Amino acid sequence: MKQDIESGKRLPNGIRLLPNGKYVVSVCVNYKRRSRQARSIEEALTVRSELLNELEMGIEGKRLPAKKRTHRVDDGKRGTSWTLEAALERTSTMYWHEGQGGSECAIRNAKEVCAFFGPRTRLDEIDPDWIDDYAEYLSRKGNSGSTINRKLSSLSRMMTTAYERGKLKWLPKMPRRPEGSHRVCFLTVEEERTALRIIDQLDYTEHGQAFLVLLYTGCRCGELWRLECRDVDLELGTITFWKTKNGHPRTIPIVDTIRPIIEYRMELVGGTGKLFPKGSSEWFRRLWDKLRVQMGREDDPQFVPHMLRHTCATRLAQSGENALIIKEWMGHTNLQTTVRYTHLMPKNLMTAAQFLSNMAKKEEEEEARGIV
């Protein structure tokens, strides 16, 4: 027997309470396992008996053939609801392709959705109240508004996939949490020098090259790991990122600072294939974890490799570059994303301040000459 901490009641073996107030029933007979969700303890007890009966009859061979015995919600009939696990499998096949920007995160979020609701829960059982419970559960875990919205987006994509294929009759409206403005974390020039000095001391040469390319292109880590020699045009001095998070390719100039690195990497790999064959999030984290410690940033949750992208955008903004140019360089689909960096455009503000100052001086001079 297990203790239900929240209610103070003892739950039968194989039954546990979820954070959303529902119950998960899990039974195992001769290494075969079945699980299902229930909305009350009474229903959970009934479900447990049914699952045990199914397994026992299946093992003795007294039930229908295996095809009928397995729990298949999708029987091929239009309008029959998919389970979450079926929706995840189909959505991954259709939309979340391996190597495509954002897919890894979307699949990870979708698996978390399945863990909360139960992978064998039918989509038509997930109502707005239950979705609200999930959002509240994530909030209590400390997830930010933007993180909650991304996880709900994965659920929405799976439900939409089912709806478009006649496996769900209606789409519930997803709640949306406000996404507050957060401090943009970026490296100063001095911090960049410190990081490069540490990288040199650690003898992480290849990681250091990736560090500089990420900083001076502003590309996402996944985009760099997928970058191939054929995507670089040394004659034109450009790099094209074909596989991006939003699916829209973009071409940017090669900054002089990293041109020698690009040329060296292309020669090193023989002019074909990926510029960083070893490149991956795990590979780069070996360096980043050491940087975090040696730069005294262990307790800074924003000190992550993605801040190199923020650094590039911030420096473009600080140079006084037009927001539309920054948007095109960074590959933002929405100008609102670029606007996060516009408060870092002092040159534009200085020009405006100078204009106002000149206007004030002109008025004073005219007043001194008696011009009304």
Read off the CATH number of the domain in which 36 is found: 3.30.160
What radius of gyration do the chain's Cα atoms show?
Answer: 28
Same-domain status, 49 and 156: no
- Most distant CA pair in the chain: distance in Å? 109
Q: What is the pLDDT of residue 180?
A: 59
Answer yes or no: is 361 within a domain: no
Picking from 17, 43, 69, the residue at the C-terminal end of a domain is: 69
Q: What is the pLDDT of residue 183?
A: 61
Residue 3's beta-bridge partner residues? 10
pLDDT digits (tens, 9 = 90+) for 343-366: 666 666 666 677 777 777 777 777
Answer yes or no: is 6 within a domain: yes
Q: 357 in helix, strand or coil?
A: helix
pLDDT digits (tens, 9 = 90+) for 97-140: 765 656 788 899 999 999 999 999 999 999 888 999 899 989 88
Residue 318: domain span: 189-345
Helix and strand counts by DSSP (H, E) for the chain: 15, 8
Answer yes or no: is 170 within a domain: no
The enclosing domain of 112 has a CATH number of 1.10.150
Same-domain status, 193 and 336: yes
Beta strands in 224-288 (DSSP E): 232-233, 238-241, 250-253
Structure pTM? 0.58
Q: How many CB atoms neighbour CB 193 within 10 A? A: 11
Residue 15 DSSP code: E
Q: 90-122 burial by CB neighbour count: b if 16+ within 10 A, else e?
A: bbbeeebeeebbbbeebbebbbebbebbbbbbb
Enumerate residues 6+ apart whose C-beta is below 8 A from 70: none
Q: What is the pLDDT along the chain (372 residues), one digit of tens a residue?
A: 444 434 445 777 778 888 777 888 887 776 677 788 888 887 887 777 777 766 665 543 333 333 333 334 444 444 478 999 999 999 998 888 765 656 788 899 999 999 999 999 999 999 888 999 899 989 888 888 888 998 999 999 999 999 999 999 989 889 888 765 556 788 999 999 999 999 999 999 999 999 999 999 999 999 999 999 999 999 999 999 998 877 789 999 999 999 999 999 999 999 999 999 999 989 999 999 999 999 999 888 889 999 999 999 999 988 888 889 999 999 988 887 787 776 666 666 666 677 777 777 777 777 777 654
Answer yes or no: is 328 within a domain: yes
Q: What is the pLDDT of residue 206?
A: 97
Q: What are phi and psi of 20, to 5 degrees?
A: -85, 5
Same-domain status, 272 and 322: yes
Same-domain status, 7 and 34: yes
Angle between helices 128-140 and 103-117 (to 10 degrees): 110
Nearest to 295 by CA among 209, 179, 193: 193
Asked if residue 228 lies in contact with residue 274, where contact means CB atoms within 8 angstroms, the answer is yes
Answer yes or no: is 177 within a domain: no
Q: What is the pLDDT of residue 72?
A: 40
Q: What is the pLDDT of residue 177?
A: 83
